[in-house]
Amino acid sequence: MTILTILEVPDPGLRAVAKPVAAVDSDIRATLADMLETMYDARGIGLAATQVGIEQRLVVIDLQEPEEEGGDPVRRPVTFINPELLSVSDETSKYNEGCLSIPEQYAEVERPARCRVQWLDGDGVRHEEEMDGLMATCIQHEIDHLNGVLFTDHISKLKRDILMKKLAKLRKAG
């Protein structure tokens, strides 16, 4: 497996709209494995293919939640090929989101609290599931990436400007 380079703002590749995957094959499975390895290496919980310069509708997520409170995180990776939001709830929730493409920067983002998602797994099997909590937030965040949208697009210009100034200062400090 290979650790891929994660694109960071303002890389124009982050605004690319990913194309659907035509066939689930060994190349797609290898890409998903590389994406998972990259996500774990960067200590993230989700990664979209566009974040590593691949314009295909691929997402990997692993919330790495412990089995019991205070326990060690457990890896339960989920791979999504051609994920699609079928519906979202009217009820919303707020989460302090971060992004591997905008390192060490966080902002509270309001999104639908629940969503119904359809996707193919690494074997080409179709799934449809209602998601809530952190998984609903994460899959919406990653599908946004596939559509060229960043979490900073969901916050005010003022908050976005402050966040980008903090990122510039962090980069300058090395």
Alpha-carbon gap, residue 102 to 31, rounded angstroms: 22
CATH of the domain at 76: 3.90.45.10
Asked whether residue 2 is domain-assigned, the answer is no
Q: Of the candidates 83, 6, 14, which has an alpha carbon nearest to the alpha carbon of residue 40?
A: 6
Asked whether residue 115 is domain-assigned, the answer is yes
Q: Of the candidates 41, 59, 61, 134, which has an alpha carbon nearest to the alpha carbon of residue 95?
A: 134
Alpha-carbon gap, residue 83 to 91, rounded angstroms: 22
Number of domains in the chain: 1
Q: The pTM is what?
A: 0.94
Based on the residue annotation, tell me whether 91 is a catalytic residue of this protein.
no
pLDDT by position in tens, the chain (length 174): 799 999 999 999 999 999 999 999 999 999 999 999 999 999 999 999 999 999 999 999 999 888 888 888 889 999 999 999 999 999 999 999 999 999 999 999 999 999 999 999 999 999 999 999 999 999 999 999 999 999 999 999 999 999 999 999 999 997
Among 8, 84, 130, 142, which one carries the catalytic annotation? 142
